[in-house]
Structure 1
Amino acid sequence: MHYLKASLAFIFFGIFSANAQYTETINSNRPGESQGAYAVGKNVLQLEAGGYYDSQNHDLLRSDTDIFGARYEVRYGLLTEILELHFSGSFQNQLTNQPVAGIMKETDITNFRSNILGAKFLLFDPEIHVPERKVNLYSWKANQRFNWRTLIPAVAVYGGANLLWWDNPYKFQGESVISPKAALITQHNWGNSVLVMNFIADKFTEEYPSYGGIFTLTHAITPEFAIFGEFQTYISDLYADDIVRGGAAYLFSKDFQVDVSGLVNFKDTPSRWQVAAGVSYRFDFHDDNEYIEDTYEGNRDQRGQELEEKGYYKQNERNKNEN
């Protein structure tokens, strides 16, 4: 769930490099469609999967479609805290009934709806690169004024490849077996609430590209229970739509989450509603004994100075000497 994505991460910029602090609890992308800016963490393997039922009724075609499907994601933090490898997709059975020449025709399709292999990279983390506002010891009013720092989001980029092979009925005529997908991801962490925005360009080298955005607001009611609302828009010559989703997730342990959700849209070509449920599980191979190292001699950032004052660097040197 996105409220679990509010981890502190340190970024590599230029000749400065650091190992960041990873999240203590799982940060699942479920049950919404958006992905947060933060990666799962170095050496963390995360599995996310769920099933759904989707009902579609097309007024112009007078067709009724029932879809039973499964979504899956495999996420892995590679080399650093800010890089994530990502494989996702869906497999579904689609049964459509439509009158043709006065006879009800039934069409049954079962295949992979999508498979996407990609990577996400965190470019900017305001928790690290934007200094916190200092307390004014002489002015209560100054300390109570609006903190503009809270409006600065974490920013990540995503790049991937759609993979539709074999004789797949979900592949349009003339569509390539491999096509690109890219996204700009922002994330605001506001206490118990998180706002995630995805700006997506999909299959933009094909004859019928798709563009869109996903905007997800999540609020933690308790440390274990959270609710979310989401708006998604599709812009394409083949399929354009606006969708709203809502749902909830419950954290059974720091590595295990369950979720339920639903969606509706705002048009009748087709009209849609969906219910879904799923789970997320994390295999945590992260090394908790890793400490932050600053390789830029003579010039540490503000967070690096704070860590040095707390003894992190000295502790790291002791660990090296012991080994």
Structure 2
Amino acid sequence: MKKVYLLFLLFLPFLSQGQYSESIATARPGAANGAGTVGKGILQFQTGIQFDNLSDTSGWYVNNISEHLVVRFGIRERFEISAVMNHINSTEYLSASEESLVRQGLNTSLLRARTKINDNMALQVGIETRLRGKDYQIKYIAPRFRLMYNTNLGKNSSLTTNLGGVWNGNDSKPRGFYVFSYSLSLTNKLSLIAESYGDFIKSGINNYFDIGLGYNINKDMLIDLNGGWGENYPYKSYFITAGISYRMITKFRPEDMK
């Protein structure tokens, strides 16, 4: 934990450089976070709704419907803070002969900070709080970190790589994760992403895939649609999600930057 915050302090000198982009940039659609920040005085909302299913070979399965909200705010051009909340409605089916189990409530309440290292790289650190529904309580405040890197592959395409680790709040064992995300601009407003991502511990790795579309209604608003799947024996999973993102300039942005 101390090493994560030491790295964060080392990157503070990079906060003074410019970052505000012409069009809104979000972590939607897909699992990857780009190496960008929203810009000083910019308030950005990213919302979505998701349906997903997880099952195994025994006949057990669970259906989830969740609502997702991310609020991001730029403190400096290259430094932002954000909050993430996720509310879930979950129905678990143990077997055909048993009743289902229903759970609902907040299963994510995350506070984060992100800083740009250079034009292509950023570091994000976060704390998962205990502000959760009774069905999703954790014992401890749980840290996480993510390193993000963007690579331009041509005029209309790029590759985003994420690597990081998370703690679940119930034990001291971290879980690593990775994301490789390919993005292609189909038109000035429409973009396609294709991703491979997963998580890993000492005992093994789980891999997943997804494909999504993002459409810029204007430079400050984006809508998206995304779907993915994974087969990691004995489990199978899939999801579909849709969302909308919007940014606005607040009074905290200097006039010469608007």
Measured against the shorter chain, the TM-score band is 0.7 to 0.9
Residues 253 and 167 of structure 1, relative CA distance in 2, 3 Å threshold: closer
Q: Alpha carbon RMSD of aligned pairs, Å?
A: 2.4
CA deviation map 1:171-199 (0-9, x unaligned): 46xx31x1111111111133211211111
Please give the residue correspondences for 1:42-57 in structure 2 after superposition, counting only pairs within 5 Å: 42-57=40-55
Instruction: Tell me the equivalent position of 2:7.
Output: none
Q: CA deviation at 1:160?
A: 0.7
2:112 aligned residue (115, 118, 122): 118
Instruction: Tell me the equivalent position of 2:210.
Output: 245
Aligned residue pair count: 244
What is the alpha-carbon distance in structure 1 between the residues aligned to residue 132 and residue 77 of structure 2? 36
What is the alpha-carbon distance in structure 2 between the residues aligned to residue 162 and residue 53 of structure 1? 23
What is the alpha-carbon distance in structure 2 between the residues aligned to residue 18 and residue 162 of structure 1? 28
Instruction: Tell me the equivalent position of 1:196.
Output: 160
Instruction: Tell me the equivalent position of 1:81.
Output: 77
Question: Within the alignment, does 1:39 sit opposite 2:6 as a pair?
Answer: no
Residues 97 and 12 of structure 1, relative CA distance in 2, 3 Å threshold: closer
Secondary structure of 2:232's counterpart equals coil
Say if 1:202 and 1:210, in contact at 8 Å, map to a contact too: yes
What is the alpha-carbon distance in structure 2 between the residues aligned to residue 65 and residue 275 of structure 1? 15
Residues 269 and 113 of structure 1, relative CA distance in 2, 3 Å threshold: farther
Say if 2:19 and 2:38, in contact at 8 Å, map to a contact too: no
CA deviation map 1:192-236 (0-9, x unaligned): 112111111111883332111111111111110000011111113
Larger radius of gyration: 1
What is the alpha-carbon distance in structure 2 between the residues aligned to residue 219 and residue 166 of structure 1? 37
The percent of aligned pairs where both chains have the same amino acid is 21
Question: Within the alignment, does 1:66 sit opposite 2:60 as a pair?
Answer: no
Whichever residue aligns with residue 98 of structure 1, its letter is L
What is the alpha-carbon distance in structure 1 between the residues aligned to residue 204 and residue 107 of structure 2? 15
Secondary structure of 1:104's counterpart equals coil
Q: Which runs of 5+ in 2 are unaligned?
A: 1-10
Please give the residue correspondences for 1:273-312 in structure 2 after superposition, counting only pairs within 5 Å: 273-285=238-250, 286-287=253-254, 289-290=256-257
Looking at secondary structure, tell me which structure has more strand per residue: 2
Instruction: Tell me the equivalent position of 2:100.
Output: 106
Question: Within the alignment, does 1:208 sit opposite 2:173 as a pair?
Answer: yes
TM-score normalised according to structure 1 size: 0.70
Q: Which runs of 5+ in 1 are unaligned?
A: 1-10, 126-153, 292-323
Residues 166 and 219 of structure 1, relative CA distance in 2, 3 Å threshold: closer
Whichever residue aligns with residue 189 of structure 1, its letter is N
Say if 2:19 and 2:78, in contact at 8 Å, map to a contact too: no
Whichever residue aligns with residue 196 of structure 1, its letter is T
What is the alpha-carbon distance in structure 1 between the residues aligned to residue 63 and residue 126 of structure 2? 29
CA deviation map 1:99-157 (0-9, x unaligned): 2xx832310010212121010100112xxxxxxxxxxxxxxxxxxxxxxxxxxxx1111
Residues 272 and 225 of structure 1, relative CA distance in 2, 3 Å threshold: same
TM-score normalised according to structure 2 size: 0.86
What is the alpha-carbon distance in structure 2 between the residues aligned to residue 97 and residue 239 of structure 1? 26
Please give the residue correspondences for 1:25-36 in structure 2 after superposition, counting only pairs within 5 Å: 25-36=23-34
Whichever residue aligns with residue 251 of structure 1, its letter is N
Say if 2:41 and 2:74, in contact at 8 Å, map to a contact too: yes
Q: More deviation in 195-204 or 220-229?
A: 195-204
